[in-house]
Amino acid sequence: MIFESHSGLLRRLLRGLLSVIIVVAALFPIFWGLMTSLKPTRDIVQFPPSLLPATVTFEHYVTIFKAGAFGFLLNSLLVSAGTVVICLGIGALAAYGLARFEFPGKRAVMVAIIAVMSIPVASLLIPTYTLIAEIGLVNTHIGLILVYSAYQLPIVIWILAAYYQSLPIELEWSAMMDGYSRLQALWKVVLPLSRPGLIAAGLFVVVFAWNDFVVAVTLLSSEETRTLPIGIYNFLGFYGREWGPLLAASMVSTIPLLVVFVILQRYFMAGMTNGSVKG
């Protein structure tokens, strides 16, 4: 008995140690980039490098915002928000149909969704650009939002369809027996219970739309419409690297996503179905 208790304690300690190592390995590059972005230029290139800045300065952040980083940030927010709204709005309805209704060709539709998800985005750039140019939406945020939505809608449908299938269908039957229509049951019963799934799918979309460079640099050409990843690319330079502004722009791009994940991470572990049955 004593041996088993010591063995269990050892396993917990090893798991805790492994978790700490993983967290440190994941967050150290971000911490290093943040500390380096706060150093004067002369301290960034010194050798050996120091982890913490001897002198804290915000000159690099001033530089990038003078260069238009605030506009790039707003463009990224607009594009990401628009893509999430379209993907969740259409994906929630499409996923519900796949999860709750039987119809000819349903399996083929599911297979097609998986097939579309497996296509590399880079291979679609030329036909995508041609199509967007034909409808006059090149160099517009609306065009980029539509393209992102088309790319991300399959994965949203797949995630939400699997989530709906995990919900007890008896909850919807009970709602419809109380006089709700099918759409009312979806809106007032299924979607509130599907909040963790909706958030998970939305985060997939946000990460793609926020971080994408290849599609954005292909469709956007003017300074006014560029998103943050393109703005970061501007600080790479042709003859050298502007490490201070480059890292400052990277932090401006990274920190909002980290904040979103910290705020919403509790929903990932929510026992949504169990909670609905108990309630």
Classify residue 169: in a domain, yes or no.
yes
Question: Nearest Cα to 154, choosing from 105, 206, 194, 118?
Answer: 118
Residue 180 CB-density burial (10 A; 0-12 exposed, 13-18 middle, 19+ buried): middle
Give yes or no: residues 151 and 29 share one domain: no
Q: Are residues 219 and 93 in the same domain?
A: yes
179/196 Cα distance (integer angstroms): 27
Res. 260: pLDDT tops 50 = yes
The number of folded domains in the chain is 2
Sequence-ordered list of residues with C-beta below 8 angstroms from that of 143, at least 6 positions apart, any chain: 132, 135, 137, 219
30 lies in some domain: yes
Residues 227, 196 share a domain: yes
What pLDDT is attached to residue 272?
38
- The answer on 137 and 6 residing in a single domain is no
Q: Rounded to an integer, what distance in angstroms lies between the CA atom of residue 22 and that of residue 14? A: 12
Whether 87 has a pLDDT exceeding 90, the answer reads yes
Rounded-to-integer distance, Cα 79 and Cα 215, Å: 12
For residue 98, is it within any domain? yes
| Whole-angstrom distance, CA of residue 134 vs CA of residue 128 | 10
What span, in angstroms and rounded, lies between the C-alpha atoms of 74 and 80? 10
Q: Are residues 217 and 109 part of one domain? A: yes
Say whether both 16 and 143 belong to one domain: no
Separation of alpha carbons 71 and 137, rounded Å: 20
Quick check: is 254 in a domain?
Answer: yes
Q: Please tell me the predicted confidence (pLDDT) of residue 11.
A: 81
Three-state SS string over 183-241 comes to HHHHHHHHHHHCHHHHHHHHHHHHHHHHHCCHHHHHHCCCCCCCCHHHHHHCCCCCCCC
Q: Is residue 141 part of a domain?
A: yes
- Domain check: are 31 and 152 in the same one? no
Region 77-89: mean pLDDT is 95
Cα–Cα distance between 115 and 98 in angstroms, integer?
Answer: 16
pLDDT in tens, 38-65: 888 888 877 787 888 888 889 888 888 8
Question: For 139-198, what is each residue's pLDDT tens digit?
Answer: 999 999 999 999 999 999 988 988 888 888 888 888 888 888 888 888 888 888 888 889
Decide if 38 contacts 56 (C-beta within 8 A). yes
Residue type present at position 173: W
Q: HSE on the CB side for 158, CA within 13 Å?
A: 18
Report the C-alpha gap between 135 and 196 in whole angstroms: 36
Residues 20 and 133 in one domain: no
**274 falls in which pLDDT band (50, 70, 90)?**
very low
What pLDDT sits at residue 78? 94
Residue 190 lies in a domain: yes
| pTM of the complete model beyond 0.85 | no
58 within domain boundaries: no
Q: What is the domain-level CATH number for residue 194?
A: 1.10.3720.10
- Please tell me the distance from the alpha carbon of residue 75 to that of residue 3, in angstroms, as a whole number: 60
pLDDT of residue 236: 66
Q: Which domain holds residue 77?
A: 66-278
Contact (CB, 8 A) for 94 and 164: no
26 in the same domain as 97: no
Q: Is-contact 57 38, C-beta < 8 A?
A: yes
Cα–Cα distance measured from residue 222 to residue 75, given in angstroms and rounded to the nearest whole number: 12
**Same domain? 30 vs 87:** no
Q: Within a domain: residue 122?
A: yes
Looking at per-residue pLDDT, the higher value among 222 and 275 belongs to 222
Residue 37, pLDDT score: 87
Percent of the chain with pLDDT over 90: 21
Instruction: Read off the pLDDT of residues 112-139 as tens digits, 9 standing for 90 and up.
Output: 888 888 888 888 889 999 999 999 999 9
Is 271's pLDDT higher than 80? no
Q: Specify whether 72 is located in the same domain as 197.
A: yes
pLDDT at 240: 56
Instruction: Tell which residue, 273, 254, 268, has the closest CA to residue 197.
Output: 268
Residues 26, 103: one domain? Answer: no
